[in-house]
């Protein structure tokens, strides 16, 4: 998260959270630092990042000697400067030199969260910034962050990076001035790479590298994620945001057609589903178990959302295990018929298969498949042709290549197009719009699935529900939507993000949740007054998808979270957000209750989310932080709304007074003032 404090504060590049000053990574510029960038550093050599890093390190590293403080000798009260280091100790003025040294050390010390501890400190580490050149400062590695601060610049320059965003760490050896120098390249999950260089003894060099690797990948090193150590206190308990019983009650459930089932209370029916499920009233538990045996991973069709008027429903599940021999399951066929019958408005059921038809055929040959219209006579099967997780991962990799560290202005549009990222965003939005149209206009129930029902299925159901139900467009409602459709229904966050895992090449990694948030952002651009939350809210969610500061996105399913005691041993991201709602509120919000949104799913109406994907490039930032403008507008809105309420009360008082004066004589009643700002 890239932050900038007030004008007198430090320039900051990185990511972090503080109760006192929290900003989204793209919300503010890195201040004076970016203005100092020269043409030479901005137009850095192209080619391999590693080769470019080597060249830059070799060209800029000086002959300073770096010191490293071992982890066991470090505490928050540690101020002592090693004898002779940086020339602080002299025979002439030893006391003054020591005081100056302590002051400098204090100025460059990393701020710590409750529960956070320093593991290693190294002086004179050089951060190779692709926009500013080399910046020398103090490196601090804690169990949560990598923190670099240089007080040589005015304002001081800071890099504050949660270790959770690190995907891999690589050593780069460089020969410079006849001495062995060490370079480190850090590849991050949030669209940037970081490069460090330093010269010191082999054991100290290893200590920095090993501490960085150990703390960046705690799961691979048998250590707990930092979320289990974080001890911040918040005024709101975010774990109470989502109560499945309350959410289903809000939707009018249970009713005569749908019941709340506890068949999965011990996760025996499906270990990746939540304990509370909504299923057709007439379905028996024995039949439900047979349906689970026929559906991949036991993920049976269950209700996600019901239309308050037509009773048309969105149900989600995984693919049926049809296989190459077209295996059938009469309980599954009857089950889908029961879902259709629960909606008296339609005699048809639409099954949206998110996959490409060709991929579904391949899955069928491997034992999976899709519903044939001969086995499900009242169902219509529609393939949405959305690509798989591997295609999406490759698309994001290409996008990162064109946005960091340098941007080719002359080929910007064609380069973005070549990644196909916006095309995949378009396909997701188009698929969700088709689901919404069947529910709202066709009054027809739909079933949504992909292969396992925890990636593309979650994207589509959550987006469709966001378009259909204005509640999910509020801050709390959106939190409930994420908790329900993503977290409780078993999107595999740990596998897709790789929390604390050093296997950066794992084929299970994929930006599925990032794509969903991108789609939401696209909707906020098309309907700027329809969402209670602002862009900072979405960026903050993505930053903490990776940070491992909160427990919200840890583990792969509800069963795992219960086993790890996530809700009692970690803090919810919603605790942090809901304790300072003004930071995340859209000043233009108007509650369009019962208003269905139909975003235009066309490339002509979509754009690259520059404030997220390109936020590390100072050239791409707005001169005045947008977030600050929104906060000022929110304050003005609050003030105006208060004046409106005062005028309404005054008008009502005058109306009552006037009526009393006229007594029983005929009069025209005053029309109440209904004004919103």
> What residues are annotated to the active site?
450
Sequence-distant (≥ 6) Cβ neighbours of residue 473 within 8 angstroms = 466, 530, 531, 532, 592
Count Cβ atoms within 10 A of the Cβ of residue 245 and give its class: 0-12 exposed, 13-18 middle, 19 or more buried.
exposed
The token pair that represents 102 in the structure block: 């302590």
The DSSP secondary-structure symbol of 672 reads P
The token pair that represents 533 in the structure block: 């939350």
Place of tokens 């990511």: 15
User: CA angle, 469 as apex, 465 and 475 as ends, to 5°?
Assistant: 95
Which of 12, 10, 8 has the alpha carbon at shortest distance from 616?
12
CB hemisphere CA count around 400 (13 angstroms)? 15
Tell me the torsion sign for CA atoms 234, 240, 242, 247: negative
Distance CA 442, CA 181 (A): 67
Q: Computed over its alpha carbons, how large is the radius of gyration of the chain?
A: 28
Q: Which three-class secondary structure state does DSSP give residue 142?
A: strand
Q: Which three-class secondary structure state does DSSP give residue 501?
A: coil
Using an 8 Å Cβ cutoff, are 574 and 238 in contact? yes
Count Cβ atoms within 10 A of the Cβ of residue 89 and give its class: 0-12 exposed, 13-18 middle, 19 or more buried.
middle
In degrees rounded to 5, what are phi and psi of residue 244?
A: -55, -40
**CA-to-CA separations, 429 to 484, 517, 519, in angstroms, rounded:** 20, 11, 7
Angle (deg, nearest 10), helices 512-526 and 535-547? 170
Distance CA 35, CA 52 (A): 22
Tell me the torsion sign for CA atoms 134, 136, 140, 141: positive
Distance CA 5, CA 27 (A): 11
Say how far residue 93 (Cα) sits from the centre of its chain. Answer: 52
Q: What is the rounded (10 degree) CA torsion for 483, 484, 487, 488?
A: 130
The DSSP secondary-structure symbol of 254 reads S
The token pair that represents 386 in the structure block: 């959305």
The token pair that represents 130 in the structure block: 């692709």
Q: How far apart are the first and last CA of the chain?
A: 32
Using an 8 Å Cβ cutoff, are 272 and 310 in contact? no
Q: How many CB atoms are closer than 10 A to CB 137?
A: 23
In degrees rounded to 5, what are phi and psi of residue 353?
A: -95, 115
Strands 179-188 and 193-198: antiparallel
The token pair that represents 285 in the structure block: 């538990």
């Amino acid at each position: 998260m890239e932050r900038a404090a007030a004008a007198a504060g430090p320039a900051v590049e990185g990511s972090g959270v503080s109760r006192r000053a929290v900003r989204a990574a793209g919300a503010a510029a890195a201040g004076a630092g970016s203005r100092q960038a020269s043409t030479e550093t901005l137009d850095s050599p192209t080619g391999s990042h590693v080769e470019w890093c080597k060249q830059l390190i070799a060209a800029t590293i000086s002959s300073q000697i770096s010191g490293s403080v071992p982890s066991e000798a470090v505490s928050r009260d540690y101020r002592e400067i090693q004898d002779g280091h940086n020339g602080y100790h002299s025979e002439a003025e030893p006391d003054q030199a020591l005081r100056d040294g302590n002051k400098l050390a204090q100025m460059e010390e990393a701020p710590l969260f409750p529960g956070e501890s320093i593991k290693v400190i190294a002086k004179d580490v050089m951060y190779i910034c692709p926009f500013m050149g080399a910046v020398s400062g103090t490196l601090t590695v804690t169990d949560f962050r990598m923190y670099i601060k240089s007080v040589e610049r005015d304002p001081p320059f800071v890099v504050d990076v949660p270790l959770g965003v690190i995907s891999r760490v690589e050593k780069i050896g460089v020969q410079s001035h006849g001495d062995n120098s060490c370079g480190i390249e850090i590849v991050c999950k949030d669209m940037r790479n970081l490069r460090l260089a330093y010269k010191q003894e082999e054991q100290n060099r290893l200590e920095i590298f090993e501490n960085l690797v150990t703390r960046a990948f705690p799961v691979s090193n048998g250590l707990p994620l930092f979320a289990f150590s974080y001890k911040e206190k918040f005024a709101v308990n975010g774990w109470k945001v989502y109560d499945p019983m309350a959410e289903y009650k809000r939707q009018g459930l249970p009713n005569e057609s749908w019941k709340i089932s506890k068949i999965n209370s011990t996760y025996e029916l499906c270990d990746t589903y939540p304990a509370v499920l909504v299923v057709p009233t007439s379905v028996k538990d024995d039949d439900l178990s047979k349906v689970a045996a026929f559906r991949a991973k036991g993920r049976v069709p269950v209700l996600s959302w019901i239309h308050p008027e037509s009773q048309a429903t969105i149900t989600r599940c995984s693919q049926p295990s049809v296989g190459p021999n077209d295996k059938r399951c009469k309980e599954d066929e009857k089950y889908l018929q029961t879902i259709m019958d629960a909606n008296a408005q339609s005699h048809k059921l639409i099954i949206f298969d998110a996959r490409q038809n060709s991929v579904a055929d391949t899955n069928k040959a491997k034992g999976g498949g899709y519903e044939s219209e001969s086995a499900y006579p009242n169902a219509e099967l529609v393939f949405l042709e959305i690509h798989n997780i591997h295609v999406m991962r490759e698309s994001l990799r290409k996008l990162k290549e064109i946005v960091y560290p340098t941007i080719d202005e002359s080929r910007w549009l064609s380069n973005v197009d070549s990644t196909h990222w916006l095309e995949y965003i378009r396909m997701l939005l188009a698929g969700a719009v088709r689901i919404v149209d069947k529910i709202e206009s066709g009054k027809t129930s739909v079933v949504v699935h992909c292969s396992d029902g925890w990636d593309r299925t979650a994207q589509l159901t959550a987006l469709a529900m966001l378009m259909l139900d204005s509640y999910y467009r509020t801050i709390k409602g959106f939190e409930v939507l994420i908790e329900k459709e993503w977290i409780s229904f078993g999107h595999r966050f740990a596998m897709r993000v790789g929390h604390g895992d050093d296997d950066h090449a794992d084929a299970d990694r994929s930006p599925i949740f990032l794509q969903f948030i991108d789609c939401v952002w696209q909707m906020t651009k098309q309907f700027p007054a329809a969402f209670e939350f602002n862009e900072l809210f979405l960026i903050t969610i993505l930053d903490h998808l990776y940070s491992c500061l909160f427990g919200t996105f840890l583990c792969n399913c509800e069963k795992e979270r219960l086993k790890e005691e996530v809700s009692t041993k970690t803090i919810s991201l919603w605790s942090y957000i809901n304790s300072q709602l003004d930071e995340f509120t859209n000043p233009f919000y108007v509650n369009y209750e019962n208003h269905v949104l139909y975003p235009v799913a066309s490339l002509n109406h979509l754009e690259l989310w520059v404030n997220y994907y390109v936020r590390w490039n100072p050239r791409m930032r707005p001169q005045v932080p947008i977030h600050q403008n929104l906060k000022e507008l929110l304050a003005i809105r609050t003030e105006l709304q208060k004046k409106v309420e005062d005028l309404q009360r005054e008008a009502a008082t005058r109306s009552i007074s006037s009526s009393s004066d006229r007594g029983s004589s005929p009069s025209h009643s005053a029309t109440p003032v209904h004004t919103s700002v």
